[in-house]
Chain A
Amino acid sequence: MNGMQGATLLKYRGHRYLKVTSALVLLAVAAYLLPGRTGDEAYGGTVSGYLLGIAATLIVLILMLYGVARRRIGGTPVAQADTENKVGRGKRPFRMGRLEGATLQGWLSAHIYLGILLLVLATLHTGFHFGWNVHTLSYVLMLLVMVSGVYGLNAYLSYPTLITLNMGDDTLDDLFLKIAELDELAMACALELPDEVHALVQQACRETRVGGNLWQQLSGEQRDCPTRYAVQQLPALSATYGRNDQPKMIRELYAMLLRKEKLVQRARADVMLRARMTCWLFLHAPLGIALLAALTAHIVSIFFYW
């Protein structure tokens, strides 16, 4: 699945966009070197500088159109992986949608390769002049968008498989139901048990968290997880009790907690993988919009002070 997904994105229709990109990159490098032949110092204001700049701007606009196309076509290029997870939350119905003959995979393939082309064009457009100004700001924003995009491509190619491997046939809600059930049982069991044990179980039930803030979601951890703590403490604690303290119930309780800990780990892994798969978009898209703003300022400034 993973391999196929990657193959489709990067090798779409016999490397169509790879070929187009390679040709355009060669053209751009030629355009850059042409004035170099006569010793002209390169910068954005030469004829080839303007041409490279216009081309780069058009590519930025096309790249941003992908965001629109994504909404209009529907689904995601990795929606298939989503579907297999049967998660439900935030899932878009997968349609190998077509919008006037365009497929989302085709768009994404073009998006990736055009991004690479943009890197070349914009870098040549700068003529390797950088400074503390709006022009370099645009370039840096573009780089940040690209870095997040490269992360995103890697995430789209690797995380769906990991999510499927982790969750199997379960959804996150399934896991929560199972955990809740175990909690009920453990609490009922703990009612009859010594206070220390009871406190451990109660804490494990009440304070175990899946998800949480940004860091907790991305790390897939809970510091001092009470369930894990209970699992660690229970055997030692039970050893100190006598025959009257219902050792059988403690053993049952221990089994429940172990099962719960596994479920919690899987749930946290699911939240983590999804967070890591989607977090880049929270940078990629806003930075893209910021880039458009900086680009506007860049272009206006050039002609304002011509």
Chain B
Amino acid sequence: MISCLLIHVSRTSQGLPVRQAGVIAGETIQIGRGAACPVHLPDHRVALHHASVRRADDGSLHMDAAGEAMLKIDGIIARSVALQPGMRIEIGPYVLGVETAPAGHDIALSMEKVHAPDGHETAVGLKQPVTLEALGFSKRTLGAVLAVCILLVFLLLPMLPGASQALDKWQADLPVTLNGSWSPGSLTGGHALFEAKCSTCHKRPFQAVADEVCTGCHTQAGKHLSNETLHKRAFGSMRCTDCHADHKSRAKLRHDAEKCVACHGDIKRINPDSKLADVHDFATGHPAFHITLPEGVDADGVERVVRFRQQDKPVERSALKYSHKIHLDKAGISSPEGDTVMQCRDCHRLDASGKHFAAMTMEKTCQQSACHALNFTEPVEGIVPHGSERAVMSRLREFYGRWLADVPENRAQCEAAGAPANSVRATLDCVNDLARRNGAATLFRKNAECGECHEITPVASTNVPWKVTPLRTNHDWQPGAVFPHAKHGAMGCTACHDKMNSEKSADIAMPAIDKCRECHIGKDHARGKLISTCESCHRFHRDERK
């Protein structure tokens, strides 16, 4: 049996202890939260049955923790302890002090609640935010932070290279340039070189890209109209970039056919005196083709041309006698190599541009395979070069002079002609006479040798008594358009140019617009047709290199 003096200690408002003693007794003395425990410690930190005091075999008193409970004795955690006066045992908020037992008691325990209540008041929700505002989210702060970041990265930084050339140069080498975020699209073609350096074209802030920036590199791009007044009327204050906008795909940079129609759809609005017809679309609104022919050189030495409507069936006055029919005869044409079937390309060869044909010459074209050699036969055989009448006559005189000098008997030819005595004068007269006579007989004939191709007129001259009309063959029937012959190589020449039955060089065999329209349509798609815009055939800028 243990007799225990239990002293409840409480404190006055001044903090002075008030001790109330009571006696408890039992074989063991239970300590715990439960009402059944004599040392009743009503707190949630205390176990229902927390500890008990028992008498050990040697008669000393021990305190043992029950279950999983723990005791804190003088600051040290323990499960069991032999009670000694002066010990302080902490259980939950309570401190049990072991005091010297007065007479008649085995032990004295003081019991004081030293810690605050355990706050078993409801915790639910009270310390938790229950609204999003309570989490500290602020729409304004978030908005302001985002806005400042965006303005910094996408407004301030891109502006900086415009302020300093050094910075502009430095940032161009960065993997991400400062003003890259402003570029609405990548640059096209050669412009891609300036991708990292906006200032190449955008010289000054808030100023549009000047035309000089473009013409600084594109030196060959001439004006559309050579007439200044007309140019100003048609284009006013238009800038290069109005038509050529980069950053917007290649198509946008290169050309914009619709801009042509803006003027050429009603050309009289720009130039009431214009002879051009209105154009809207190749398929439906393009005038019939015109044929441009050379008109000769005017008083100012300028080569003039004249345009004919194709339906007026103009003829070419080239002064050349030529029959395509004979040359292209399917049965062949006689040549030193026998009968040969000629092809168009035997004479017409594309130049390097692939658009036009190389000029034809007597030597390279007509005299190939020894055709059209300029022979004379009387009184001896010889060949003259293709050249001016004077050159031909000089060659003949040179030939006959040598012929007389080499063989004196040949002089008989002169005498036969009734020439007088053996003088230098007489020899020269003989040479001239021979040249004239044989030139007339074998070369300057109306329909053979020279006269086979050229128009020849006799003139009153002793030295060169013939005049060959100079040729004026056309090289560009439609100088306002570009026709890439090379791209049309799959078609035969005669598919467009009807020359098989042409007997005269005056025949013009340029195809009409309907021929082109068999394959080409305008800007709107059509099945099995090629979309063709103005730029397919026409060039806006004059080439300044010409």
Contacts and interface: CB of A to CB of B under 8 A. Distances in A.
Given A41-B252, A180-B124, A303-B206, A214 B132 contact: yes
B245 interface: yes
B34 A39 contact: no
B146 A304 contact: no
Nearest to A204: B124
A40 B121 contact: no
A137 B150 CA distance: 10
Contacts of B182: 133-134, 301, 304-305
Contacts of A195: 47-48, 67
Interface of B, secondary structure class, is: loop
Contact of B130 (A40, A43, A179, A271): A271
Contacts of B251: 41
A187 interface: yes
B60 to A, nearest CB: 29
Nearest to B32: A195
A282 B136 CA distance: 11
Contacts of A264: 124
B403 interface: no
A293 B145 CA distance: 11
Contact of A285 (B129, B143, B179): B143
B124 A179 contact: yes
B147 A306 contact: no
A163 interface: no
Given A40-B256, A212-B129, A293-B147, A281 B120 contact: no
A285 B139 CA distance: 6
A297 interface: yes
Interface stretch (A93-101, A153-161, A272-280): A272-280
Given A134-B154, A289-B146, A305 B132 contact: no
A176 B162 CA distance: 62
A304 B135 contact: no
Interface size on A, as a range, is 35 or more
A286 B124 contact: no
B124 A183 contact: yes
A48 interface: no
Contact of A293 (B35, B151, B202, B261): B151
A292 B185 CA distance: 22
Contacts of A217: 129-132, 135
Contact of A129 (B121, B146, B158, B184): B184
Looking at chain A's contact residues, the main secondary structure is: helix
Interface string B107-130: 000000000000011111110111
A131 B184 CA distance: 7
Contact of A306 (B130, B142, B206): B206
A304 B159 contact: yes
Contacts of B130: 89, 172, 210-211, 217, 271
Nearest to A214: B135
Interface in B141-175: 142-144, 146-148, 150-151, 154-155, 158-159, 162
Given A179-B124, A184-B122, A290-B146, A133 B181 contact: yes
Given A133-B183, A191-B42, A292-B147, A180 B128 contact: no
Most chain A beta-carbon neighbours within 10 Å: one of B34, B137, B140, B181: B181
A3 B258 CA distance: 53
B499 interface: no
B485 interface: no
Interface in B232-251: 245, 248-249, 251
19 contacts: A39-B258, A39-B523, A133-B183, A133-B184, A176-B126, A179-B122, A193-B48, A214-B137, A216-B128, A217-B130, A278-B131, A282-B137, A282-B139, A286-B146, A287-B143, A290-B143, A290-B147, A296-B151, A301-B158
